[in-house]
Amino acid sequence: MRIGVPKEVKNHEYRVGMTPPGVLELTRLGHEVLVESNAGHAIGLDDPDYKAAGARILPDAASVFAEAEMVVKVKEPQPAEIAMLRDGQVLFTYLHLAPDNAQTDGLLKQGVVGIAYETVTDSGGGLPLLAPMSEVAGRMSVQAGASGLEIERGGRGVLLGGVPGVHPGKVVIIGGGSVGANAAFVATGMGAQVTVIDKSQRVMAALDSRFQSLVTTLYSTTATVEDECASADLVIGAVLVPGAEAPRLVNRDLVRAMKRGSVIVDVAIDQGGCAETSRPTTHADPYYVEEGVVHYCVTNMPGAVARTSTFALNNATLPFIVKLAGLGVKKALEADPHLLAGLNVCRGALTHAAVAEAQGKAFTDAAKALSALPA
């Protein structure tokens, strides 16, 4: 199979879909890998590195999209990239379609076979291709929140870890999954007072076992969220409904009731955000103040630590890329129900129920949609 790796074009996105070691695995299996020139330059992965791994370097994205049977990316395709996709071409990347009607419509119109990293599952019910970036984003969220609390950002001037004789800052994490657990790891390490809110007894028990007295776990109710957010210095939105829009758990009235200069870091922003006052921001302009509260809502947080993120992501995606390239997309999806769970669009059909529900569009069962693919 011919696999294309274009340079990412989203604002301040420096990750790349494949590393040279990943490329080497594929070329040794007889596949052809096409890499756009300078795709990994920002993180020290240069064209000679990819050439040494057996890749063919192409001058621009248009050349990569034109030749590739499968395009492997990191972030959702931007409008110019969607225009370069073609009927039956496989796109393997993060899509986050639920809150993005325009992208969904574009992919459906182009007839793409779109497999979303974030909805691929595993036998334990996890999301193996979302997990590595959730780990990065969770750890970064506390750093971003700590910076937002500084006076220059509009924050209330609180040091999360405190100092002897002074109370530490209070961090409230809504959602105890991978993002939440990693946020708690960093926040406790900084010496903050940490509370995690979740609906799952299993998740709360795991957090309690891991962090013991360093973290308070609370069952999620409207009253709990309101009480904890109102007293927090930093609120981290870490809720996830796989493939669907994030639930709006923090409404405007609650934001208004928070301390002036407190901070919301909405990690769920790529699925629409869990705070009513959240709106997407970029690494170029990450913070804004609304209702007296500092907001950080960057949709591609791991892009700021792109080298670490790229290697972590490629470690997770490579086995699936090898499977898709080796078996072909139809056989690979038929053979692996966990990979099939990642199929969001297929030659004009919308094949993820949560996305269809969020957008009010017709849903086609993924297994049924495979009939539109060549053997």
Which residues are identified as catalytic?
96, 270
The number of angstroms, rounded, from the C-alpha of 312 to the middle of its chain's C-alpha atoms is 13
| 65 to 2, 69, 213: CA distances (angstroms) | 10, 8, 52
**Amino acid of residue 372:** A
Q: What is the DSSP letter of 195?
A: E
Q: To 5 degrees, how large is the angle CA 55–CA 45–CA 147?
A: 145
Helices (H), 29-130: 47-52, 61-67, 79-82, 101-110
Residue tagged 């970064």 (tokens): 140
Identify the burial level of 151 via C-beta atoms within 10 angstroms of its C-beta, where 0-12 means exposed, 13-18 middle and 19 or more buried. Answer: exposed
SS3 258: coil
Tokens of 217: 């776990």
Cα separation, 341 vs 360, whole angstroms: 20
Helix (H, G, I), strand (E, B) or coil at 51: helix
| Pair 217, 328: CB distance under 8 Å | no
Non-local (6+) Cβ contacts of 124 within 8 A are none
